[in-house]
Amino acid sequence: MPRTSIATVCLSGTLEDRLEAAAAAGFDAVEIFENDLLASAESPERIRARVADLGLAIDLYQPFRDAEGAPPARFEAVRRRMLAKLDLMGRLGADTVLICSSVAPDAIADDDLAASQLRALADLAAERGMRIAYEALAWGRHVSTWQHSWEIVRRADHPALGLCLDSFHVLSRTDDYAGIAGLPADRIFFLQLADAPRLSMDVLQWSRHHRLFPLQGGLDLVGFTRAVLAAGYTGPLSLEVFNDVFRQADPHRTAVDARRSLTALLDATAGDTVPAPELSGIAFAELGVDAQSGPQLEALLGALGFVHSGQHRSKPVQLWEQGDARILLNSGAGEAAIRAFALESADPEQSARRAEHLMARPLPRQRRRREAELTAVAAPDGTEVFFCRTEPGAEQVWLDDFLPTGEPPRPSTGITAIDHLSLAQPFDRFDEAALFYRSVLGLRDDEAGEFAAPFGLIRTLAIRNDDRRVRIALSVPVLRRGDWAPAVPHPQHLTLATNDLARTAGALAQAGIELLRIPGNYYDDLEARTELPAGLGDFVRRAGAMYDQDGHGYCLQLFTPVMGSRVFVEVVQRSGYRGYGFANEPVRMAAHRAQRLGATVSA
């Protein structure tokens, strides 16, 4: 692994908090952002000592603004400021300072003037054994491209003056970065990495509020990093992310997320060091249940045709099965909706190694004799992710941990498998969760959406494996909920696949299971905007189902009310359809809300 570094500006808290978090996540170094230093109560000497104690180094001090192209009368003040900062760096033990391209209104557009001024500043740095990295801000007044910053560094021709390349400034403006691979390696002093979603907005606002860690956004970080490494750059890979959410999140978690992104980026750039084995399905989902949701879920699963086929040897966990759908109800771990799930892996051990390589927290297993050793890691939201092989004859068969109950089979109601899991994420952990599931499990992005729920905007991202047998839909409130929103958590849900939704609906009705009531307004609109397949219109309304279509087909969905406080079940019949029903989510969420309040819904 090359040397890794993170800018203090990526993290939240006091400077001390940020340094500790960076060290704990395994970074080699930090960039000290000037504002974070100014706000610190500690002297530069104490900060330097703390950095050393933590096993870190300060690889960059930044930013130094509005230096080059200054009118000669102002340049004397620039020199004076630089001398003060070089002294400060001496006290901090930092040897590289970043000058970002000037945004000063009085800056002069003259490359020779800029080069000669930077050369003069580089002399001051060199006298102290220090150096200057010059960065083109995408919104610089006269210098805003990497090519232009290189032209000035080239003209200045000073050994203590080189480039700082920042992926955001380069990629936000251009796809023309291939030429970076041809730069002389000893002229690239520093590399800053940041991704961002593709937004069309003012580039300064975009940069200051929406940057993300590599592979969390839509910029070509892989191509860019390859180009810089191809130039022969061997300095630190440093993350510099300005992000409103990260600024108020737990810095320890953000630092781990950051480190994971660098590992994933290097794997993507140079080839996976620990490839993800093929996944072939969801082996089981485990729901945490309490005194209220337990009986409700048992009644639901029974009505759906599941059989309570096993009881765990050592834990209060029931196994319910139908077709390839396996659900565990765990009454010993508190109510936590979907507390765990297991994926069928071609090589569970290797899946776990991959997860640990990407800094997933391994879960200690309390295993009794004769129980299968399941490898498991914790996802960022605490969900336990197991890797297993369910096929009979496999070495470790987790199903053997369950003693058969002898309960006789029930007639199928059409349920065949778990279709997907919908995991609600804490509002400040969405990008982390997306990168975690995507990189650890080797899944790809499928469908993303954003819609208005009753108490705020919800963002969703579905990810899947190649053959769609593993699908996970993440959702998150875009902002932290306000005081006005009810104190109930954003629910998670489990979606079961049926090959005959009418039959499944009939079985539920016969068992007297209450379904989510969908308002008549929904069906009026559905019929107005959609040519429903013959016979379906009446059925959808009568059954209380929802309908969606995409370029591949259509789907029918049924929803239960929220059980306990956090979980509900969806049943879906896919007829070629590849989506996740996101279009129905606003109405579905409002219906759940109404049902929780006990409101009447007009049919």
Q: CB of residue 192 vs Mg ion: minimum separation in angstroms?
A: 4
167 binds, among ligand DHB, Mg ion, none (CB under 5 to 8 A by kind): none
The three-state (H, E, C) secondary structure of 369-387, written as one string: CCCCCCEEEECCCCCEEEE
Asked if residues 492 and 422 have their Cβ atoms less than 8 Å apart, the reply is yes
What six digits make up the tokens of 578?
């590849």
Q: CB of residue 440 vs ligand DHB: minimum separation in angstroms?
A: 29
Q: Is 240 annotated as a binding residue?
A: yes
66 binds, among ligand DHB, Mg ion, none (CB under 5 to 8 A by kind): none
Asked if residues 93 and 59 have their Cβ atoms less than 8 Å apart, the reply is no
Residue number with CB closer to Mg ion (9 or 113): 9
Q: For residue 597, what are the CA distances in angstroms to 71, 336, 587, 591? A: 67, 21, 15, 10
What six digits make up the tokens of 386?
């197991």
**Strands laid side by side in the 384-388 sheet:** 361-362, 375-378, 384-388, 337-345, 279-288, 325-330, 317-322, 307-312, 402-404
Q: What's the CA gap between 55 and 62, in Å, rounded?
A: 21
Residue 166 near Mg ion by CB under 5 A:
yes
Residue 192 near Mg ion by CB under 5 A:
yes
Residue number with CB closer to ligand DHB (99 or 567): 99
Q: Is 493 annotated as a binding residue?
A: yes
Residue number with CB closer to ligand DHB (9 or 51): 9
Coil, helix or strand at residue 452: strand
Of the candidate spans 158-166, 282-290, 358-366, 460-468, the one that interacts with Mg ion by CB under 5 A turns out to be 158-166
Of the candidate spans 185-193, 474-482, 507-515, 520-528, the one that interacts with Mg ion by CB under 5 A turns out to be 185-193
Residue number with CB closer to Mg ion (20 or 240): 240
Residue number with CB closer to Mg ion (197 or 586): 197
Q: CB of residue 8 vs ligand DHB: minimum separation in angstroms?
A: 12
Residue 31 near Mg ion by CB under 5 A:
no
Backbone angles phi, psi at 530, to 5 degrees: -130, 140
What six digits make up the tokens of 233?
């750059």
Radius of gyration of the CA atoms of the chain, in A? 28
Q: Is 42 annotated as a binding residue?
A: no
Q: Where are the alpha helices (DSSP H) in 231-347?
A: 251-270, 293-303
Residue number with CB closer to ligand DHB (149 or 412): 149
Peptide bond into 63 cis (omega under 30): yes
Q: What's the CA gap between 235 and 3, in Å, rounded?
A: 7
Coil, helix or strand at residue 504: helix
Q: CB of residue 21 vs ligand DHB: minimum separation in angstroms?
A: 20
- Strand ranges in 425-455 using DSSP code E only, listed in sequence order: 444-453
Report DSSP state, residue 195: B
- Stretch 201-240: interaction string toward Mg ion, x if CB under 5 A: ---------------------------------------x
Residue number with CB closer to ligand DHB (193 or 377): 193
Binding site residues, ligand DHB, CB under 6 A: 62-63, 98, 100, 135, 137, 166, 192, 207-208, 240
Terminus-to-terminus CA distance in the chain, angstroms? 61
Residue number with CB closer to ligand DHB (103 or 594): 103
- With CA atoms as reference, report the closest residue to 3 among 158, 201, 229, 331: 229
User: In 10 A of CB 8, how many CB atoms?
Assistant: 25
What six digits make up the tokens of 599?
């409101």
| Residue that the structure tokens 């729920």 belong to | 453
Q: What's the CA gap between 310 and 319, in Å, rounded?
A: 5
Q: Is 420 annotated as a binding residue?
A: yes
Residue number with CB closer to ligand DHB (98 or 433): 98
Residue nearest to ligand DHB (CB): 63
Q: CB of residue 190 vs Mg ion: minimum separation in angstroms?
A: 9
- With CA atoms as reference, report the closest residue to 496 among 443, 585, 421: 421
Q: Which amino acid is at 98?
A: L
208 binds, among Mg ion, ligand DHB, none (CB under 5 to 8 A by kind): ligand DHB
- Stretch 255-294: interaction string toward Mg ion, x if CB under 5 A: ----------------------------------------
Residue number with CB closer to Mg ion (208 or 552): 208
Residue 573 near Mg ion by CB under 5 A:
no
Q: What's the CA gap between 19 and 530, in Å, rounded?
A: 56
Q: Is 344 annotated as a binding residue?
A: no
Residue nearest to Mg ion (CB): 166
- Stretch 238-257: interaction string toward Mg ion, x if CB under 5 A: --x-----------------
| Window 402-461: residues binding Mg ion (CB under 5 A) | none
63 binds, among Mg ion, ligand DHB, none (CB under 5 to 8 A by kind): ligand DHB
- With CA atoms as reference, report the closest residue to 94 among 145, 58, 52: 58
Of the candidate spans 14-22, 52-60, 192-200, 569-577, the one that interacts with Mg ion by CB under 5 A turns out to be 192-200
Per CB under 5 A, residues contacting Mg ion are 166, 192, 240
Residue list for the binding site for a divalent metal cation: 135, 166, 192, 240
Known binding positions for Mg(2+) = 420, 493, 570
Residue list for the binding site:
135, 166, 192, 240, 420, 493, 570
